[in-house]
Amino acid sequence: MSHRIQRALISVSDKSGIENFARQLAQLGVEILSTGGTYATLKKGGVPVREVSDHTGFPEMMDGRVKTLHPKVHGGILALRDDPAHTGAMAEHGIAPIDLVVVNLYPFEATIAKPGVSRAEAIENIDIGGPSMVRSAAKNHRFVGIVTDPADYGRVLDEMQKGRGSLSDEFRRELAAKAYSLTARYDAAISGWMFQKELESGTTTSRFPESFALAGTKVTDLRYGENPHQLAAFYKIGGSREASLAMAEVKNGKQLSYNNLVDLDAALALAREFDEPFVAVCKHNNPCGAAAAGTIAEALEAAWEGDSVSAFGSVLSFTRPVDIASAEFLVSGNRFVEAIVAPGFDEDAFRLLVDKPKWGKNVRLLAIGDLAGWARDPRELEVKKLVGGFLLQERDLAAAGEGDCKVATRRKPTSDELTSLLFAEKVAKHVKSNAIVIAKGTRVLGVGAGQMSRVDSVHMAVRKSGERVVGAVLASDAFFPFADGPELAIQAGVTAFLQPGGSLRDAEVVAACDRHAAAMVFTGARHFRH
């Protein structure tokens, strides 16, 4: 049902493009109503505009908290133009129709993302009038257009030009759906923040709210999902205080795929375990190589050699900017990766990667900025979608230190062995269970992942390690249910083990180590990842 737009109410926090948009609406014969800062902007820009308080006959008050919450505003938006009772009420009370509502909301998500923001400042950035107008206009979308995104200004003007001043039914429905997505995301952010504040203050003792809302903004459509016949898109959640793919700058390469993002997220999560120069090589959501070293190029070479066969077509994460030595290593030989996430790329390294044939057109390069300023946020929850529901859990951010290791065997691990065990445990946290990581120094030699029996994961890790396994150490994400896993590793050359302990057969497992003078420590912390 098309109606010519005669009157628009404009009240925006994000004022990008608003002056030009309002001016063109006015040129199309639309009367402009506005409030506060938006009114001042339009007035200063020479756009014909009328203040809402003049329209309602009621002044703004309470520092702007009350300005659009008025029957002449909401009646003008909500009235059904084809209902005589509604039009009669409008005539009786002097309510003029409002045919277009242009509103975006106070920046609540950006406000709570600022370090040290006070509760009072956050509360003041909870918009009331804006969401009320958005909901009213979206509800009455048969007659009213609701515009919440500056990116839609051009489309609105094009539609009005084509429709002789009106918007099509289809376009108004599309705008209404988008508007409700905005208010849903806005309310979800407020709800989550308020619950977190109650948790921090001790008002509530439950880690999880009775109702949990998750909403995001689409970053991009993806080429496809896990498989070509599945559609997919990437969304970001507002208010996050942690370095993530959602904030990364894509500097080069083909469109990201669903699998690229899943793998990159896993690689970045592993890299965040380390402050020193570190590189992770990930494939199918598991690290196949990882290393820490004195320089980032040395870490890359050691990580790649952990499993050079699996590394082809992998994704990489760096804790330091990619330098020219790293880029030269990657483009030499028969090496290729799908994507790299790093704090940044040195200019000469970037040029080499994008100018090299085969690399430049394909490899995705994501710059995430200095990781040192972004601590991992324990308030972030992990969400696992199930059919008909979802699971929530806290993140597994814990990692063992020397003080967490209880020596279970007669022989204690040497200082070098313990350093290597603690390194391997950090990596094992990010390997799909059953997880086995064999390492030497701060370098992964072999990984066993996702096997249904732990001894099979040991077999896999030993085979991947090859002859390098002699003198290496092994970390397991969960306890050994039998002695067969450690015995197999010892026969191959492993000299020390780390595991959480807790099996009914712990004594048998420890005895097997003692028979071969191998060291074993228990941490008491399991790190399953499914």
pLDDT tens per residue, range 272-314: 999 999 999 999 999 999 999 999 999 999 999 999 999 999 9
Helix 129-139 vs helix 71-78: crossing angle, to nearest 10: 30
> Contact, 272 vs 371, CB < 8 A?
yes
CB atoms within 10 A of CB 404: 16
Q: State yes or no: pLDDT of 138 exceeds 70.
A: yes
List the beta bridge partners of residue 382.
393
Amino acid type, 38? T
Q: State yes or no: pLDDT of 59 exceeds 70.
A: no
Return the pLDDT at 112.
82
Q: State yes or no: pLDDT of 381 exceeds 90.
A: no
Q: At 223, list the tokens.
A: 């080429």
Give the integer Cα–Cα distance in Å for 285 and 530: 11
Instruction: Give per-residue pLDDT as tens, 450-463.
Output: 999 999 999 999 99
Distances (CA, A) of 81 to 55, 77, 139, 160, 215: 20, 10, 13, 19, 33
| Residue reference for tokens 């709210």 | 209
Closest CA to 303 of 267, 260, 252, 263: 267
CB atoms within 10 A of CB 195: 20
The DSSP symbol for 429 reads T
Instruction: Give per-residue pLDDT as tens, 64-119.
Output: 666 666 888 888 898 888 888 888 887 888 888 999 999 998 888 888 888 888 88
Q: State yes or no: pLDDT of 156 exceeds 80.
A: yes
Give the integer Cα–Cα distance in Å for 238 and 213: 13
- pLDDT exceeding 70 applies to what percent of the chain? 97
> Contact, 430 vs 269, CB < 8 A?
yes
Q: Give the H or E element holding residue 337.
A: strand 337-342
Query: How close are the terminal C-alpha atoms of the chain, in Å?
Result: 51
Give the integer Cα–Cα distance in Å for 345 and 347: 6
> Contact, 42 vs 34, CB < 8 A?
yes
Q: Where are the alpha helices (DSSP H) in 402-505?
A: 415-428, 454-465, 484-492
Q: Which residues contact 241 (CB under 8 A, 6 or more apart)?
A: 113, 115, 374, 377
Give the integer Cα–Cα distance in Å for 235 and 96: 39
Q: State yes or no: pLDDT of 54 exceeds 90.
A: no
> Contact, 35 vs 68, CB < 8 A?
yes
Please provide residue 4's backbone torsions phi and psi, each rounded to the nearest 5 degrees: -65, 135
Interior angle at CA 407, CA 403 and CA 410, nearest 5:
150
Return the pLDDT at 55.
79
Q: Where are the alpha helices (DSSP H) in 237-392?
A: 258-271, 296-306, 308-311, 324-331, 347-355
Amino acid type, 462? V
Instruction: Give per-residue pLDDT as tens, 383-404.
Output: 999 999 989 898 999 888 888 9
Return the pLDDT at 215.
83
Give the integer Cα–Cα distance in Å for 485 and 183: 54
Q: Using CA atoms in the order 151, 152, 155, 156, what is the torsion angle rounded to 10 degrees?
A: -140
> Contact, 152 vs 118, CB < 8 A?
no
Closest CA to 130 of 243, 10, 276, 286: 10
Question: Does the domain at residues 7-192 carry the CATH identifier 3.40.50.1380?
Answer: yes
Catalytic residues: 139, 284
Q: Which residues contact 81 (CB under 8 A, 6 or more apart)?
A: 3, 87, 97, 143
Q: State yes or no: pLDDT of 62 exceeds 80.
A: no
Please provide residue 85's backbone torsions phi and psi, each rounded to the nearest 5 degrees: -65, -40
Instruction: Give per-residue pLDDT as tens, 244-263.
Output: 898 899 999 888 999 999 99
461: helix, strand or coil: helix
Instruction: Give per-residue pLDDT as tens, 324-368.
Output: 999 999 999 889 999 999 999 999 999 999 999 888 888 999 999
Same CATH fold assignment for domains 245-372 and 402-522: yes
Closest CA to 287 of 178, 390, 417, 425: 425
> Contact, 72 vs 94, CB < 8 A?
yes
User: Looking at the domain covering 245-372, what would its CATH class be?
Assistant: alpha beta
Q: 95 or 264: which carries more pLDDT confidence?
A: 264
Give the integer Cα–Cα distance in Å for 273 and 195: 28
* Length reported for the chain: 530
Phi-psi region of 383 (alpha: psi -120 to 50; beta: other; left: phi over 0): beta
Question: Does the domain at residues 402-522 carry the CATH identifier 3.40.140.20?
Answer: yes
Q: State yes or no: pLDDT of 61 exceeds 80.
A: no
Return the pLDDT at 68.
67
pLDDT average, residue stretch 47-66: 73
Please provide residue 283's backbone torsions phi and psi, each rounded to the nearest 5 degrees: -145, 125
Return the pLDDT at 71.
80
* In the chain, where the domains are located: 7-192, 245-372, 402-522
Mean pLDDT, rounded, of the chain = 91
Distances (CA, A) of 233 to 196, 215, 222, 223, 240: 28, 14, 5, 8, 19
Return the pLDDT at 36.
81
